[in-house]
Amino acid sequence: MSPLRVLCLPGDGIGPEISGATLTVLRQVAPLMTRPLALDTQEIGFAALDAQGTTIPEAVVTAAKAADGVILGPVSHNAYPPASEGGRNPSGVLRVALDLYANIRPARCYDGLEAPTRRPFDLVVARENLEGFYADRNMHEGGGEFAPVPGVALAMRKITEAGSRRIAEAAFALAAQRRGRVTAIHKANVMRLTDGLFLQVCREIASAHPDIVYDELLVDAAAAHLVRHPDQFDVLLCTNMFGDILSDLASELSGGLGLAGSLNLGETHALAQAQHGSAPSIAGQDRANPTSLILSAAMLLRHRGEPRAAEAIETAITRALASPESRTADLGGPLGAAAFTDLLCTFIDEAHS
């Protein structure tokens, strides 16, 4: 049987630490998989810039296209030099190169872990990934931001019927596997053409799924409802920027971005990515929480037909988060990244030995 080929790109800041933790956990669950696990690691970010003059070499993009899945560590792209000097954002480059049009971001509360919300919830944000206001990925050539004269800066927002259709279909497929509800998030009362087109497509897809409850909500109202009644949501269907913002809010309400998994999906490719940043101020200090990237890797395994291994990871994390003594420091616990990773491996071993 052919192996499951996973490419790991550690990134910057805490990226190498949490990527290393993730690979350790993947090796621990490898015996539970139906296919052999083949892991490869290549450099991106500042390490690649120093060695090859670019933050994402073309060889890495080629390797990502050949892999069954990619694990992308966080990157410090805001600190990179201009793109003309090799400082491209690896995340944006890979999303475009692999046509990763859907960014799936679950957020849920964990038993025993105190969270800002008083209402336990379990939802998923289905975020369009290649359009919207994101200037580095919404044009065929050139950027989506420009300054026609000094003191004036403009940003282009691209929404297409094809892009809206793909993310809407992904959202309805998710809802069919969950509680059967999709909420389309928009601002069509102001952005009548762009969000109007997005809603037109969402309604068309909804009409083809009469078994799924469908509703719509203005993005500002959605933010308010998330704070007060997050348990009313199942799948939030969003354009790029709205989904980015609301998924961060939902993750914080569940306990923090350190718990937020994220999977970027295309027709053939998949990329697991932590929802948080590179946190350079704590890099190399064993203070990072690797949960987000580990959960993202579990999502990747499930997507690639390895539900047993994915469930083993998720169960171990749920068990660890249930007790203050088995949490990382950001969640009020005593553990560093290495000890937390070792504990997850112990829990997996105990459950499946």
pLDDT in 10s for each residue of the chain, 353 residues: 899 999 999 999 999 999 999 999 999 999 999 999 999 999 999 999 999 999 999 999 999 999 999 999 999 999 999 999 999 999 999 999 999 999 999 999 999 998 888 789 999 999 999 999 888 778 888 788 999 999 999 999 999 999 999 999 999 999 999 999 999 999 999 999 999 999 999 999 999 999 999 999 999 999 999 999 999 999 999 999 999 999 999 999 999 999 999 999 999 999 999 999 999 999 999 999 999 999 999 999 999 999 999 999 999 999 999 999 999 999 999 999 999 999 999 999 999 98
105 within domain boundaries: no
Domain of 195 in residue numbering reads as 116-254
The active-site residue, picked from 136, 248, 342, 349, is 248
Residues 231, 152, single domain; the answer is: yes
111 within domain boundaries: no
The active-site residue, picked from 187, 286, 330, 342, is 187
**pTM, full prediction:** 0.95
Residues 153, 210, single domain; the answer is: yes
Residues 328, 237, single domain; the answer is: no
107 within domain boundaries: no
Picking from 278, 284, 336, the residue whose alpha carbon sits closest to that of residue 15 is 278
259 within domain boundaries: no
Q: Cβ neighbours of residue 229 under 8 Å, at least 6 residues apart?
A: 119
Residues 140, 241, single domain; the answer is: yes
The active-site residue, picked from 80, 101, 134, 214, is 134
**Domain boundary pick from 227, 254, 281:** 254
Picking from 81, 90, 67, 82, the residue whose alpha carbon sits closest to that of residue 12 is 90
Indicate the number of domains in the chain: 2
Q: Cβ neighbours of residue 331 under 8 Å, at least 6 residues apart?
A: 113, 255, 256, 258, 289, 321, 324
Residues 40, 62, single domain; the answer is: yes
Phi, psi (5° rounding) for residue 328?
-80, 170
Distance between CA atoms of residues 158 and 133, nearest Å: 7
Verify whether residue 244 is a known catalytic residue.
yes
Residues 96, 131, single domain; the answer is: no
Residues 125, 209, single domain; the answer is: yes
260 within domain boundaries: no
Residues 250, 269, single domain; the answer is: no
Residues 249, 348, single domain; the answer is: no
**Domain boundary pick from 226, 254, 282:** 254
The active-site residue, picked from 12, 195, 234, 244, is 244
For every residue of 292-336, DSSP letters joined together read HHHHHHHHHHHHTT-HHHHHHHHHHHHHHHTSGGGSBGGGT-SB-
195 within domain boundaries: yes
Phi, psi (5° rounding) for residue 5?
-95, 115
108 within domain boundaries: no
Distance between CA atoms of residues 295 and 265, nearest Å: 15
Residues 164, 232, single domain; the answer is: yes
**Domain boundary pick from 206, 235, 254:** 254
Residues 221, 283, single domain; the answer is: no
- CATH number, domain with residue 92: 3.40.718.10
Verify whether residue 349 is a known catalytic residue.
no
Picking from 148, 152, 146, 213, the residue whose alpha carbon sits closest to that of residue 179 is 213
Verify whether residue 134 is a known catalytic residue.
yes
Verify whether residue 65 is a known catalytic residue.
no
Residues 138, 88, single domain; the answer is: no
109 within domain boundaries: no
Phi, psi (5° rounding) for residue 77?
-65, -25
Verify whether residue 286 is a known catalytic residue.
no
Distance between CA atoms of residues 262 and 295, nearest Å: 8
For every residue of 13-30, DSSP letters joined together read TTHHHHHHHHHHHHHHHG
